Amino acid sequence: MSSSEIEESGGGLVERAKADSAKRGWFGRILLFFRQVVAELKKVVTPTRKELINYTLVVIGFVVVMMALVWVLDLAAGAATLFIFGTPLN
C-alpha cells in the first residue's frame, strides 16, 4: 500500500464518518459503532504459543528490572536521608 493510499483512506474515512453520522439517527449511529467494533475485532491476530511465552517472559523480565531499579533508588534515598538528618531515633 502506498503512502497516498494510506493518506486517502485515513482522511476520507473521517469525512465519510462525519457525513454518515449527520445522516443517521441515534440508533443508526449505535449500530454503525457496533459494526465498526466487530470489523476491528476481526483484524485481531491471536499470538502463537511461542510468541505468547516470549511476550510473557519479556514482561516479567521488564518488571524484575524495574523492581531492582526502584529498590536501588529507595536504598540510595534512604542512605541520603540518613546522611542528611543523622542517625535514626530508636
Segment 61-72 mean pLDDT = 98
Q: What is the DSSP letter of 21?
A: H
Q: Which residue has the cell 542528611?
A: 84
- 21 Cβ contact list (under 8 Å, min separation 6): 29, 32
**Residue 29, exposed/middle/buried by CB under 10 A (0-12, 13-18, 19+)?**
middle
Kindly state the helix (H) or strand (E) to which residue 1 belongs, with its residue range.
none
Residue type, 30: I
Contact status, residue 17 vs residue 9, Cβ threshold 8 Å: no
Convert the pLDDT of each residue in 69-85 to its tens digit.
999 999 999 999 999 98
pLDDT of residue 78: 92
pLDDT of residue 67: 98
Tell me, rounded to whole angstroms, the distance of Cα 8 from its chain centroid: 26
Convert the pLDDT of each residue in 23-62 to its tens digit.
778 888 888 889 989 999 999 999 999 999 999 999 999 9
Q: How confident is the model at residue 12 (pLDDT cuts 50, 70, 90)?
A: low
